[in-house]
Structure 1
């Protein structure tokens, strides 16, 4: 596939209806609708784009009847080395005709948010969610699983209203522009630790009139005009692109910074983007992928003598920094806190079921008398069905009510919270 942005966007301009029809009909792409607007993104079944139209489906928004492009955040960006793209290839593109420029932009480790306006209304979306659309499934493919209940769009809009009010109202100067931000929030941290920072950082702008991405210089001008935060760029040393990449990677070695997006511009157009990720970031990312809530629970269940976080932390530290670096330890703590809250809710359910079950049994015994277990169970059942979580009451009746039984009844933190809310 041709990965040159200028060529892809020229094709999209010339063949928009056909490309959007292909996106609309593609079963490997998920669609979320908000009124007449449709947001398209890769589904879980699509690991990497297989056809050219799938390169655009990274949060693209369009209309049907007739097919029309409304907003385009980012076209698929590959990592250096993928699709046989080498530093030498990039150097060749950067040396192309025209006023060529090359930027090493910071690759921020947050969540993509696009902002556009349509028919007098401002919309915010992630790659997978659009305001006014259904709220289920993954909001962003890069967001960690623990954030599945986080309100990305609502939080981003409130943050914009507080820090960058120009973004929440339709403005003539933003017409036909897609503003692409990296949303940073302490509750949605992936790998890089930004502390308590909450921000929307502008890092791209698609111009639907010219079917091009604004250059970095234009991006900075737009940000300055509206007091927006914008992405910064590295200035790596070196005479060749390869030397500059090596210099940049050396400068972020030992940190949790993700890396860079190398952006090549010819005249007033962005013609190529490619990601370069730092080895330390990739190492931690690989470890974080295995640092899951389920794995944390499995470790606790395998060590019934553990009583709290201190036991888990001691075990993890004993594995060594290569297996569990300090950055990953924090993610385990988040999973532990979730598990501890789940256990506390399960214990509350157990206490409730024991108390109510005993009361229902006494009433049933009064009605059934003694010596007839079958009648006693029937009388108990007639009363228990009036209560929520009645399966726990029957477990109490059978003398099997313990924390393990409650965890079998409410297997996840969400199920435990829901069950507790019913009592």
Structure 2
């Protein structure tokens, strides 16, 4: 008997999640297939339910609702609350957290194809399908399971450098009917995959995996707890820092957008060129920030990796808090000194850390841009740097 969507969750819950923007359904361009994937909104709002967790590249027949591919459900970093109660001594399989795109093998009338987590036709999906058919087309996957790969090739580099590697790295299997999963690696049985298999490690428990030393040119580990069939990620701090910098999610980049929009909100008639000058920004970049619109934060969240959403919000909130406090403090100081002769006010401000801002406020000049300029973030350096080991 085939497995249908309503065997996994209530269809009304799926429809509600789609209507609320937590799940996106994409139709195959030529076949009666639909792929369901949780959205950026679900990740940002942490709207994790049986529906959103299962919709991580879930593929079903559009007419019958029969599931044709069932990937791993959404799993979390080990220190996230959604990771639930974990037995740190439970037997595990520990594998490398590969740094590419998830590839989901699914059947078509013309042969097997590969989708990515939310698309049948992404660049990565098309590349992986061509690679699979050209290199592994004679291999037949076991019946009743979904085979999952990491898609790695030079043009799909995220952070880690895999050199000229262009291949499909086997990650594991999911039994479509039961949802039971198997991890590729040292404990993997039952499949004669002729291509590369994700690297595995001898750690015997989650506790041992957490105590493992960081590796060069690595994202981290995936720990599959065998008894409970749970998975958790352990991401290396150096990888997270490098990912943030490579993808442009630095405190300075956030500051630029924060500062420009805060200045224009306080002084809407100020010319952009003047805003750029006071913030010490390239006028072209300042214009680009303005042209991107006031919904820049929503757009930023939409493309941000999930791990950075909390960091982005905290960084923006902290910057706004510091700027607002500084403006209030300078305004209060200027108000107190306004009744004094200029010479006396200047004498009192000799050692003031924001002397120029206070004088600007005393002169009735706008100080928002100057205040933001004074909290420009320090340079962020990556913890990980490329070495010969990364080649």
TM-score using structure 2 length: 0.57
Higher helix share: 1
Sort the Cα spacing of 1:164 and 1:251 in 2 relative to 1 into closer, same or farther, 3 A.
same
Shift of 1:174: 3.2
Shift of 1:114: 0.6
Which of 260, 271, 282 is 1:302 aligned to?
A: 282
SS in 1 for 2:26: strand
1:43-82 equivalent positions in 2, closer than 5 A: 43-47=39-43, 48-82=46-80
Contact map agreement 1:184 1:199 (CA 8 A) in 2: yes
1:333-372 equivalent positions in 2, closer than 5 A: none
Partner Cα separation in structure 1 for residue 100 and residue 165 of structure 2: 11
5+ residue gaps, structure 2: 254-275, 285-377, 387-391
Which of 195, 219, 237 is 1:228 aligned to?
A: 195
SS in 1 for 2:40: coil
1:15-26 equivalent positions in 2, closer than 5 A: 15-16=6-7, 18-25=9-16, 26=18
Partner Cα separation in structure 2 for residue 124 and residue 219 of structure 1: 25
Partner Cα separation in structure 2 for residue 90 and residue 210 of structure 1: 22
Shift of 1:287: 1.9
Contact map agreement 2:92 2:224 (CA 8 A) in 1: yes
Partner Cα separation in structure 1 for residue 131 and residue 9 of structure 2: 37
Partner Cα separation in structure 1 for residue 179 and residue 385 of structure 2: 44
Q: Which residue of 2 aligns with 1:124?
A: 114
After superposition, the C-alpha distances for 1:106-129 in whole angstroms (9 at most, x for unaligned) are 100100111122567423100111
SS in 1 for 2:146: strand
Which of 253, 266, 272 is 2:230 aligned to?
A: 272
Partner Cα separation in structure 2 for residue 186 and residue 217 of structure 1: 24
Partner Cα separation in structure 2 for residue 228 and residue 108 of structure 1: 15
Partner Cα separation in structure 1 for residue 241 and residue 382 of structure 2: 10
After superposition, the C-alpha distances for 1:170-205 in whole angstroms (9 at most, x for unaligned) are x4x533221100001111111111111111001021
Q: Which residue of 1 aligns with 2:97?
A: 107
Range 61-70 or range 18-27, more displaced: 18-27
Range 179-188 or range 122-131, more displaced: 122-131
Contact map agreement 1:41 1:58 (CA 8 A) in 2: yes
Sort the Cα spacing of 1:208 and 1:324 in 2 relative to 1 into closer, same or farther, 3 A.
closer
Which of 197, 200, 209 is 1:245 aligned to?
A: 209
Sort the Cα spacing of 1:241 and 1:129 in 2 relative to 1 into closer, same or farther, 3 A.
closer
Q: 2:138 matched to 1:177?
A: no
Q: Which residue of 2 aligns with 1:287?
A: 245
5+ residue gaps, structure 1: 1-11, 95-100, 132-138, 140-150, 305-318, 328-423
Shift of 1:41: 0.8
Partner Cα separation in structure 2 for residue 63 and residue 218 of structure 1: 34
Sort the Cα spacing of 1:55 and 1:111 in 2 relative to 1 into closer, same or farther, 3 A.
same
After superposition, the C-alpha distances for 1:37-77 in whole angstroms (9 at most, x for unaligned) are 11011223222333221100111011344432221112001
Contact map agreement 1:13 1:211 (CA 8 A) in 2: no
Partner Cα separation in structure 2 for residue 231 and residue 24 of structure 1: 36
Contact map agreement 1:70 1:118 (CA 8 A) in 2: no
Which of 153, 158, 165 is 2:137 aligned to?
A: 165
Sort the Cα spacing of 1:128 and 1:161 in 2 relative to 1 into closer, same or farther, 3 A.
same
Q: 2:30 matched to 1:30?
A: no
SS in 2 for 1:174: coil
